[in-house]
Structure 1
Amino acid sequence: MQTEIEVLLSLVTRLPDRRSQGRAIRSWEVVPDTTLNMKLPILLLLCFVSSVAAGKNWAMLFTGAHDWENYSTHSNLCHAYHVLHKAGIPDERIVVVMYNDIADNPLNPFPGKLFNNYNNTDVYRGTPMDYTGKEVTADLVLAVLKGDKATVKNLIGREGKVVDSGPKDNVFVAVSDHGAPGVLLMPDRLMHAKELNAALRYMHSNKKFANLIFYLESCESGSMFKNLPKNVYALTAAGKDTDAYMNYCFDPKIKGICIGGQFSTAWIENSGRVDLNTFTFRQQATAIEKHVNRSHPLIFGDHSLLDRPLIDFFGSRSRAKRILTFTDLPHTPQGSNAHTAPFHSMELTLLKRQIEKNPSDIELRLKLSQLQKLRSVVDRFYALAVRHVYMFGSSTNIHKILTVNNEPIGNWDCYEAAVNAVSASCNGLVQHRKVQGYFLSRLSVLVNICNRETGPDVVGGVRVASKATALCR
């Protein structure tokens, strides 16, 4: 017996074929000239077949960064939400995960608002906050991505929105966060590249998407993807051992921080300026690469998706011509060095620039001194860990381990064990709002030790250093 779909398709195939000009089939073009009673049922059948075959678009936006210094990570994703929403993805298919402690932060001169560029247009209003505060954990993010409703409920004690996609759906994921070799920052711990890749492979094997595109902004983000499954394409803001950069760092109304991410604002603003129906991900990757002038974006996975138009993942063709009624995008020299700062050392970079302009400002110099003292605590932590492992090592070898920052991860098992030890015994310093970026930038020390030693030795060094560091607790 024919299925319902087969019956419908058999009716459609009897209609005149007018596809020779390469245009999409329109119902009013294929309906034969017959009675009204015949036209209406066929129109309905065609609509039904189209809706069954098309699939849906889903999006997930997440960050594990929080505290005032990470303003840009929240404003990036809020702005991204508005672009996707206006392009046609309904709210029930956009999941937003962020700590949500920036808009109403006491340091915010514009309470309840977030800006993502110099136009100072609020991107916070209207953005759904599906998971916030202590709900935001590494396990929660992975469960939401995999569409695991049971785990989400078990983790937070309530039902929550997930990427509930199916085999015909397209999924878009965008992240703006702190990172380090093979890890992303979450409030409870560091998420491993292994976990993220496993989640993507789970989605693929369980037919959770037709295609998936992943945009990742973090330092060392090029170290996060390996052996991606078919029909998955990822674009990272930085290489395996390079910083990502924040931008819009010179807003006179919001001093001392950057309000955008160079990679995030590149793709978001580009999406607002182009026709999503025709502009491809290959063209966007080229535009991003030109714009992101301080780091090294990398492409991973299925390159065939590069030739898909943005609208295939960003929304609905009927709403894609002009989505940027939300804000009039600026044309500013945001790519120039004066408007950017590394994710890992944003506050230090901006302080030094301020002091160059105001060398006699005692308050600025005091802030710089306090920040440098905190960074020295980080340096001492890693020095203690290395000294524990190499009690009788040569000073030359120890210096190399402490300073080289571009060795690829050779011993993943050791490194993952060491990172877990950091999350367990020194999460207080990992999450410290003033130096967390610097702390993460120096995880390369653990990469270097693990490339030479075994896991237990490195874990022991981390624990000894943690006990001697008050900020770890």
Structure 2
Amino acid sequence: MFLRQHFILIANIILFGAVGTLAATGQNFAVLVAGSNGWYNYRHQSDVCHAYQILHKNGVPDANIVIMMYDDLAKNPENPTKGVIINHPNGKDVYHGVPHDYIGDTVTPQNFINVLLGKKDEMKGIGSGKVLESGPDDNVFVYFTDHGATGLIAFPNDVLYAKDLNKTITQMHSGKKYKEMVIYIEACESGSMLEGLLPDNINIYATTASNADESSYACYYDDKRETYLGDLYSVNWMEDSDAEDVSKESLFKQFQVTKKKTTESHVMQYGDLKLGKARNVSQFQGENMINKPEPMSPLTDRLNTLLKRDTVATEDVRTAILSRRLANLPANSAERITIERKLAEAIQQRSVISATIDSIARKSFQVNRADYYELVTTKRIPLTQHDCYMSVTQHINEKCFDIQNEYVLNKLWIVANLCQVGLRDFTINNAVNDVCIGVNSMVFIFNCFLNNDETNQYALKISNKSVDKDPVQTSTIVYGVRNRRPVYNGTLSTVSTFILEELSNDRHRPIECLPIDDYILFMKMILLEIILEKYKEAVSSKI
């Protein structure tokens, strides 16, 4: 009897001890985010899809993975393989099975923050409503890929600032949302999101595609799809995860491999560097011994290295794609003429952006005794004046152009410098007002699909906008062009009437008009904002 009781006691200790150990081990959770949209940004969503396949294969449950991506690639008119997305030349489809938690306009900085903080109530009725439900025993992996700039990363229609990201991370720590967390960021100047901001004592290890001052790089241009399939840093860490036994590879080893193969930028690490050496990749990306890794042969590794020689800086991707398309088109073809025009417009757009930012810098010092123009336009200064920077960049977004544009992002370090040399945000914002209202002329085009069988272009050219400061003057002229034929010449105040009348004359339904080409960059100009709002009101009243 005594022996039997003794055996039962030992069995219970073993059983409950084992259960207790299992519970303490915790689970793996992940948030994967692609912050862009559009075919030329293909690589970002492709990266996220590939990352999902790695975690899924490694046994991380879909219930524990939150995916945020615009999801405009699989069925995109430019996709020659509908329903398929690849992350490597001639690679496997990485789109199949990917959860559609947050797509389209639900991919926002605020939703990302709510997901990280586990705010289920705030996410009710938005996408899948899924949030991080991790706790103090769980490991969390966060991967973000998109455009970036000094102290910010971009989303389709907004940006997330470094200050807000790090505030969220601090709240996650105080709220016991993780035991340990790993963050990978693919973006230009991504080091600026964490440098000097991420503590080294809150159990977080992070790596970034670049330091605080440089671009990240796209790679794997695909002639069939006419876009870049991946980002250099991202495909390097993911191809490593595919090939290695992640249960035996430390996070630091993956960082070293990625750093060595990412030759165009400086891959960085932040946070608790001891954690990076003490923990294996599998503790954050999952470990499923049923699915063994697929070791990369030296020949395959060499081939991938050769394929990555087509890398291009993120801010140059748009023009690089157009240039590649142009090289494959016959002379004098209609398509070649179209691409030549788009390339010329893209180059002109870059010139306008550079000139505008430069003018803002010059104007900012006109009311200040100290003139640091040369300094702020030639030397990068680490960002610490986050509030000033946030205020000015949002003002530029409102008054000048969309700061999600990759070339605008590439110039925002100058804006950060203006704040760093002691200028107040209201001083810089006044300069923004003067510069952006004074732009001489822009063109805005609408592509109107009428019954899906006819396309009409409506172009509006706004000239001498600065004279509109005086309501008595009527020098601001709007030229309306339909299919390259002038159909309207008048003042801004009646432009919406012109558009509405033109649409009414077509007598077709339904009407869907969308901004096209690269003119969307200038939507946020003051006068174009007025036009767009009036136009939306006119069209919505007819649908």
Could you tell me the TM-score, scaled by structure 2's length?
Answer: 0.72
C-alpha contact (below 8 Å) 2:139/2:180 kept by paired residues: yes
Q: 2:147 aligns with which of 171, 178, 187?
A: 178
Separation in structure 1 between the aligned mates of residue 291 and residue 12 of structure 2, nearest angstrom: 30
From the CA coordinates, give the structure whose radius of gyration is larger: 2
C-alpha contact (below 8 Å) 1:96/1:128 kept by paired residues: yes
2:395 alignment counterpart:
421
1:14 alignment counterpart:
none
C-alpha contact (below 8 Å) 1:293/1:335 kept by paired residues: no
Separation in structure 1 between the aligned mates of residue 435 and residue 84 of structure 2, nearest angstrom: 40
Give the direction of change, closer, same or farther, for the CA distance of 1:317–1:49 in structure 2 (3 Å limit): farther
Give the direction of change, closer, same or farther, for the CA distance of 1:143–1:392 in structure 2 (3 Å limit): closer
Q: Which runs of 5+ in 1 are unaligned?
A: 1-31
Paired residue secondary structure (1:258):
strand
Q: Work out whether 1:118 is the aligned partner of 2:89.
A: yes
Larger relative strand fraction? 2
Greater mean alpha carbon deviation, residues 170-179 or residues 307-316: 307-316
Q: 1:258 aligns with which of 219, 228, 245?
A: 228
Q: Per-residue deviation at 1:261?
A: 0.7
2:157 alignment counterpart:
188
Q: How does 1:327-338 map to 2 (within 5 A)?
A: 332-334=303-305, 338=309
Q: How does 1:70-469 map to 2 (within 5 A)?
A: 70-153=41-124, 157=126, 160-225=129-194, 226-228=197-199, 229-249=201-221, 251-255=222-226, 257-307=227-277, 308-319=279-290, 321-322=292-293, 332-334=303-305, 338-352=309-323, 363=337, 365-391=340-366, 398=373, 401=376, 403-404=377-378, 406-426=380-400, 429-431=402-404, 436-452=405-421, 453-468=423-438
Separation in structure 1 between the aligned mates of residue 223 and residue 10 of structure 2, nearest angstrom: 63
Paired residue secondary structure (1:429):
coil
Q: Which runs of 5+ in 2 are unaligned?
A: 443-521, 530-543
> What is the letter of the counterpart of residue 387 of structure 2?
D
C-alpha contact (below 8 Å) 2:46/2:229 kept by paired residues: yes
Give the direction of change, closer, same or farther, for the CA distance of 1:127–1:331 in structure 2 (3 Å limit): farther
Give the direction of change, closer, same or farther, for the CA distance of 1:36–1:119 in structure 2 (3 Å limit): farther
Q: Per-residue deviation at 1:320?
A: 6.0
> What is the letter of the counterpart of residue 389 of structure 1?
S
Q: How does 1:3-82 map to 2 (within 5 A)?
A: 41=12, 44-82=15-53
Give the direction of change, closer, same or farther, for the CA distance of 1:161–1:466 in structure 2 (3 Å limit): farther
C-alpha contact (below 8 Å) 1:119/1:329 kept by paired residues: no
Q: What root-mean-square deviation, in Å, do the aligned CA atoms of Structure 1 and Structure 2 show?
A: 3.1
Q: Per-residue deviation at 1:438?
A: 0.6
Paired residue secondary structure (1:300):
strand
C-alpha deviations, 1:359-404, integer Å up to 9, x for none? Answer: 968645433212111212212331342343234789x954554x42
C-alpha contact (below 8 Å) 1:272/1:324 kept by paired residues: yes
Give the direction of change, closer, same or farther, for the CA distance of 1:60–1:409 in structure 2 (3 Å limit): same
Give the direction of change, closer, same or farther, for the CA distance of 1:132–1:466 in structure 2 (3 Å limit): farther
C-alpha deviations, 1:230-262, integer Å up to 9, x for none? Answer: 21111000011000001102x22112x211011
C-alpha deviations, 1:256-305, integer Å up to 9, x for none? Answer: x2110111111111001111111111110110011100001111010122
> What is the letter of the counterpart of residue 37 of structure 2?
H
Separation in structure 2 between the aligned mates of residue 270 and residue 355 of structure 1, nearest angstrom: 34
C-alpha contact (below 8 Å) 2:64/2:132 kept by paired residues: yes
Separation in structure 1 between the aligned mates of residue 62 and residue 307 of structure 2, nearest angstrom: 35
> What is the letter of the counterpart of residue 237 of structure 1?
A
Give the direction of change, closer, same or farther, for the CA distance of 1:60–1:319 in structure 2 (3 Å limit): farther
Identity of aligned residues (%): 31
Give the direction of change, closer, same or farther, for the CA distance of 1:148–1:423 in structure 2 (3 Å limit): farther
Greater mean alpha carbon deviation, residues 277-286 or residues 446-455: 446-455
Q: Per-residue deviation at 1:314?
A: 1.3
Paired residue secondary structure (2:283):
helix
C-alpha contact (below 8 Å) 1:341/1:350 kept by paired residues: no
Separation in structure 2 between the aligned mates of residue 184 and residue 335 of structure 1, nearest angstrom: 30
Separation in structure 1 between the aligned mates of residue 426 and residue 367 of structure 2, nearest angstrom: 18
Give the direction of change, closer, same or farther, for the CA distance of 1:405–1:162 in structure 2 (3 Å limit): farther
Greater mean alpha carbon deviation, residues 340-349 or residues 51-60: 340-349
Give the direction of change, closer, same or farther, for the CA distance of 1:317–1:102 in structure 2 (3 Å limit): closer
Separation in structure 2 between the aligned mates of residue 94 and residue 157 of structure 1, nearest angstrom: 16
C-alpha deviations, 1:391-445, integer Å up to 9, x for none? Answer: 4789x954554x426222243221121123234444x5224xxxx1111001112
C-alpha contact (below 8 Å) 2:84/2:95 kept by paired residues: yes
Could you tell me the TM-score, scaled by structure 1's length?
Answer: 0.82
Q: Per-residue deviation at 1:152?
A: 2.2
Greater mean alpha carbon deviation, residues 444-453 or residues 163-172: 444-453
Q: Per-residue deviation at 1:207?
A: 1.0
Q: Per-residue deviation at 1:52?
A: 1.4
